Amino acid sequence: MNALPTDTLLEWRLLTGRDIDALDRESTVIIGSVSPLEVHGPHLPVTTDVTEAEGLLLAAIEKVRRERPDITFVRLPPLWVASDVLPQTGSIGFRPDTLRRVLMDLGASLAGQGFRHVWLSNFHGGPRHFVAMEDALHRVNRRHGTAMISVFSLLLHRLADDGSHELGGVLGDLPGADPEAFAGDMHGGYVETSMMLHLIGEHVRDHTDLPPVTVGSWRASKGLPAKPPHPLAAFRDSFRFFKANSYAGSPAGASAELGARFVDTLATHTADALVDLWDGKLSAADARSPLFKYRRVLLSRALGWFFENVIA
């Protein structure tokens, strides 16, 4: 993975307590990633989401640094505490409440040391994962007056404002991209395989012979109607699909060249939003997904038990 020059990014783990104490709290941003160790097909390593979160964050920060050279960035080691991981051997999952408590403790610790600006990256689309992140950061900000945000959720907010609700709408027109390959591309497919070939291609196994598979094609093979009759049926079918399949999409068409374009494009959108955040044009409240308003339901223990023991 490409690293920034040492004078633009400091590693928390390599600093001394005296180094950290000397940081200007007003111009320092603590950054990090919160993504799972999770199975992504037979071809991608379980660190895929962590690597993508880190790669996208570093690419975005490099662009922000050019625009706002007065900011000092300090990177925390990645946290792989995450919810809603694939039920496959190799995935490591945590309850949403565990994730929420970890991030609340992290935020309280940083706030106690005077740090206000904390940007946490993620590249995992499990709803109870990113909503738990948003809820934890909201609680910390309210309690400690900090400005902790989920970079993933801020990106979702920016793309929605730009009229793009799916990656195909953002990436489909890039040179070399196949617009049809984005259909049903959810996990370990066209986009993620390309990004991983770019970021750590030496750890990607052969993907060129993997057939395209999507939740839609799986439903058709089971004789199920193309459209689920109700939301619970859609959740149920997704659980069943990912118990039998470890990727969704068309990884065979992926390439490192496309991955570089995908990362750069997403990083550009992310950096633009982060600059607006730093300049006060956006607030921490803008770094929330549309699902945030349903957080009490999504993160309830009763609903978690229902999905894990009844639907799944």
142-157 residue pLDDT tens: 999 999 999 999 998 8
Does the residue 4 lie in any domain? no
74 vs 11: CA distance, rounded Å: 6
Q: Which of 158, 160, 151 is nearest to 133 (CA)?
A: 151
280 vs 159: CA distance, rounded Å: 19
Does the residue 2 lie in any domain? no
Contacts with 126 (C-beta within 8 Å, 6 or more apart), sequence order = 36, 82, 83, 84, 85
Contacts with 57 (C-beta within 8 Å, 6 or more apart), sequence order = 31, 33, 119, 121, 151, 270
Cα distances (Å, whole numbers) of residue 50 to 12, 147, 277: 18, 23, 24
Say what the pLDDT of residue 163 is.
61
The DSSP bridge partners found for residue 119 are: 31, 149
- Where the chain has pLDDT below 50, the residues are 1-6
Domain residues for the domain of 125 are 9-311
CATH of the domain at 24: 3.40.50.10310
Does the residue 193 lie in any domain? yes
Task: State how many domains the chain has.
Answer: 1
Say what the pLDDT of residue 310 is.
57
Q: Which two tokens stand for residue 133?
A: 């992140």
Does the residue 272 lie in any domain? yes
Q: Are 53 and 61 in contact (CB under 8 A)?
A: no
Tell me, letter by letter, the H, E, C secondary structure of 127-147.
HHHHHHHHHHHHHHHHHHCCE
Does the residue 303 lie in any domain? yes
Q: Are 263 and 59 in contact (CB under 8 A)?
A: yes
Does the residue 232 lie in any domain? yes
Sheet holding 28-33, edge to edge: 9-11, 72-75, 28-33, 117-121, 147-150
Does the residue 173 lie in any domain? yes
pTM metric for this prediction:
0.92
Say what the pLDDT of residue 5 is.
41
Does the residue 289 lie in any domain? yes
Q: Are 270 and 174 in contact (CB under 8 A)?
A: no
133-192 residue pLDDT tens: 999 999 999 999 999 999 999 998 888 876 666 788 899 999 999 999 999 999 999 999
Say what the pLDDT of residue 3 is.
46
311 vs 142: CA distance, rounded Å: 35
